[in-house]
Structure 1
């Protein structure tokens, strides 16, 4: 075999950081050792994996094509090492979740996962749909749990569970006594919404197709709790996942508003890189998610 696992580690770290010095630091190597490992692998096969742009090393088309295979091979080697050491076959899982899922569902899933698989490790990264998709695509995350619609030829997008957005207001808001909001009510209201790039905002915008440019959007916030607090303060009305509003509705600090003829249903998805090696921990995570929430 003409390449080593260490060379693959240097290749992948350099692809991630786009800088040989940062790649070396992440692997606890000297810069010269990392540079030599990368050069040797390229010279052994008479190839070039990166375009040198100043101090930055940018993956070229060949490097991009091989990256997924290298990731898969290295992950399998790590699993084999764990098995040889007679430790748990479940390794270190990096999960990304959008804000609604991360704040209201993922912690429960993580708790069950760790109970059922002693010795497992899980890292959770919470961000909006666009950010999670980018990290899965860049092999920074093993699996993403998202609430937005995306399309990318490099990603597997797997339907998970149905969700519903709910429009809501404070109990003493002028619209609170309305059984159903009219089109005029929707247009006259001041809205407090999630930011662009979030799955919740994407679903809301689709639901308001035809009148979206006419809406008065007072605030765009990145966190669901901030939106709920602003709505409780009567700054406007909001629209979030029913999952995020369950407790507030139960205690009466917020109340739902009905909007006829607007489709506020949506889908949650799993996303994985198509070239990602799916070990047992990824499969068990997906199975647990589907058993707990479907």
Structure 2
């Protein structure tokens, strides 16, 4: 049987988190994917079947807090010996550990699919160099929503016509990093034009520090909102004389990300380098 015909073995890190649970359910429902590892920092859950923990039938995969041990054992069971082979790691954990997780996966020949945001530009560049040297396909995806990709592409077109723009992202109050990786990625796409935004018309000052948002070198300002009841939302507002133009994307449920997650799982093993952003996968 060829590698293409075998289910893709997948490890999920952050297995009991909001996104991790959705990912496991999506993998379980996908005929071409096979959950082989579930990593969670809660040691009290060590050794319990992940399926039973998230409301499914037993999946035969026990939770572990040892990510590196899981990467090591699964990479030995399923070798990365050419295009479209090897294990995939899907990571939805925490900004404080995502760099180490990604680097460890590459070192073991496991293909990382990173949904955790918070990686710095320097870290992404370092991981890209490491993935290139190891020839391990890696995907760093700040947002797995196809709708968000469409918003970003529309914003890039609009930015050619508007010199004033501000970005606002709104998330649930359990999100650790701000601004979101998606918002940063959107700003980077606008900045590819090489222009400067938001020329000052007055000597601006803040009576409350930070109320004007974070200022990037391009002049773009990014604003973050954190409230219970929100999932993930983003606005890009452009302004010009006599008009404004607003693009907005709302994620109502985390299931919206699953088609993008599964698509990336299916494509990352065909890569030999790091890609940044879902638009590079579509």
> TM-score, structure 2 length as denominator?
0.30
Name which one, 1 or 2, has greater alpha-carbon Rg.
1
Between Structure 1 and Structure 2, which shows a larger proportion of helix residues? 1
